[in-house]
Amino acid sequence: MPISRKVHGYISQSSWIRKMFEEGNLLKKQYGAGNVFDFSLGNPSVEPPVEFKETLRTIAGEDIPGIHGYMSNAGYLETREAIAASVSKEHGISLNADHVIVTCGAAGALNVICKVFLEPGDEVLIPTPCFLEYRFYVDNANGVATFVKTKADFSLDLNAIRDALTEKTKIFLINSPNNPTGKVYDEASIRGLAELLEERSRAYGRDIYLVSDEPYRDIVYDGITVPSLLKAYRNSMIATSYSKSLSLAGERIGYLAVNPGISDFEEVMSGLILYNRTLGFVNAPALMQRVIAKIQGVKINVGEYGRKRELLCDGLSSIGYEFSRPDGSFYLFPRTPIKDDIEFVRALQKRRILTVPGSGFGGPGYFRIAFCVDDATIINSMGGFGETFKEYR
Ligand SMILES: Cc1ncc(COP(=O)(O)O)c(C=O)c1O
């Protein structure tokens, strides 16, 4: 076998999301794109804001000697300053450029964090359902991903978390608004979590770090705000990106923001900057860094996703599907009317509706609908959602 046994195994169990997306492409060839209802991939459907496009054009037209060369591995100072100012404002905690590293998306930031913090065998505890790519990021750093269930309404279960933390837990990783559930963890649960992690850090005699993966932070509904983890817990970091908040997923631009109060700050930053380079990113894309520096505070029109959420939720609840309305993100995670979520997703697929089984997120008995699609896809899929539901009742 040319590739390692481990990778060979991982390929076969890797992303359900990608699997459904590829199968969807085959169906689209067969039946035409308009006849396939593809809710498989979290690829933003709302266009990037006009401010982004204009700034990109202006910056691309500038002729500055040396501008295409290497830079500081942490990113341009101007970009880090701009991000630090935004994070300070949003989180009510004072950061400067030294606390920020510009990264290749949230995925890049998470890989850097895992590599820098984990000793082989150290655990990263993650509430489920969750984005299961985390397993790979943790494994890349020879860590072990461990999981703890959320409550029935997908909120944090602090008792279960207390039981799941061990002397080997180095990182607690949360994602709010959550992919796949759309849940935003509320202020009280974040406060409770912070107290628990502080108490367990003392009990184990070593720090547990809180990492907040928050690429959906700006995509929230009904006036909900996302509590700040930086403010709640000293040993904390944010890993995030503009993939969803500006619809720039393909541009690979994001950042890592470190709490100024984190233990051994200087060494932590040196490690993170080193690995932003040596994991092969070297630095985040230069052109995007220059654009981002100029458009802090600009966001996509979240109202468009809000409208899609209403269309989908109203349609599915009138059929009889059960779910919690998402607080944020562009995912809905309904219960499958039968226990076997894979069978149910296959049944939907027969009606050319592509979704992802909850098992692909550590949430069996549910399925994920990514509603970052045209309104027509939502409206025209309702017949198929209805027929499949009736088939299993
Ligand atoms: C929860 C979560 N974290 C991280 C990522 C990776 O995002 P990025 O494009 O910023 O690397 C995604 C992408 O879908 C995601 O859903």
Contact 200, 170 (CB under 8 A): no
Residue 12: predicted pLDDT:
74
Predicted TM-score of the model (pTM): 0.96
- Which of 140, 211, 213, 288, when mutated, tests ligand 1's pocket best, judged by the most ligand atoms within 8 Å of its CB? 213
Upper half-sphere CA count for residue 11 (Cβ side, 13 Å): 5
Confidence of residue 25 (pLDDT cuts 50, 70, 90): confident
For 352-363, what is the mean pLDDT? 95
**Residue 241 near ligand 1, beta carbon < 6 Å:** yes
390 C-alpha vs ligand 1 centroid, how far in Å?
34
User: Is 19's pLDDT higher than 80?
Assistant: no
Q: Measured in angstroms, how far is the CA atom of residue 285 from the centroid of ligand 1? A: 17
**Residue of the CA atom closest to atom 13 of ligand 1:** 42
Q: Is the CB of 106 under 6 A from ligand 1?
A: yes
Q: How far apart are the first and last CA of the chain?
A: 46
The answer to whether the CB of 213 is under 6 A from ligand 1 is yes
Using a 6 Å cutoff on CB, does residue 107 contact ligand 1? yes
Q: What was the pLDDT predicted at 32?
A: 87
Give the nearest ligand 1 atom to 329 CA. Answer: 16
Mean pLDDT score, 274-301: 97
Q: Is 42 near ligand 1, meaning CB less than 6 Å away?
A: yes
**CA 108 to centroid of ligand 1, rounded, Å:** 9
Residue 123 has pLDDT above 90, yes or no: yes
Nearest to 251 by CA among 114, 371, 107: 107
* pLDDT at position 70: 96
Mean pLDDT of 68-94: 97
Q: Is 341 in the pocket of ligand 1 (CB under 6 A)?
A: no
Using a 6 Å cutoff on CB, does residue 243 contact ligand 1?
yes
Q: Are 259 and 230 in contact (CB under 8 A)?
A: yes
Average pLDDT, the chain: 96
User: DSSP of 36-74, one letter per residue?
Assistant: -EE-------SPPPHHHHHHHHHHHH---TTTTS---TT
Distance 176 CA to ligand 1 centre (A): 12
**pLDDT tens digits, 40-61:** 999 999 999 999 999 999 999 9
State the pLDDT at residue 23.
82
Within a 13 Å sphere around the CA of 233, how many CA atoms are in the beta-carbon half? 29
Chain centroid, CA 195 distance in Å:
24
> Is 44 close to ligand 1, i.e. is its CB under 6 Å away?
no
Asked if 335 and 365 count as a contact pair (C-beta separation under 8 A), the reply is: yes
Distance 190 CA to ligand 1 centre (A): 21
- What sign does the dihedral 332-333-335-337 (CA atoms) show? positive
> How far, rounded to the nearest angstrom, does the alpha carbon of residue 166 sit from its chain's CA centroid?
25
Q: What's the CA-to-centroid distance between 216 and ligand 1, angstroms?
A: 9
Confidence label for 10 from pLDDT (cuts 50, 70 and 90): confident
Q: What is the mean pLDDT of residues 176-181?
A: 98
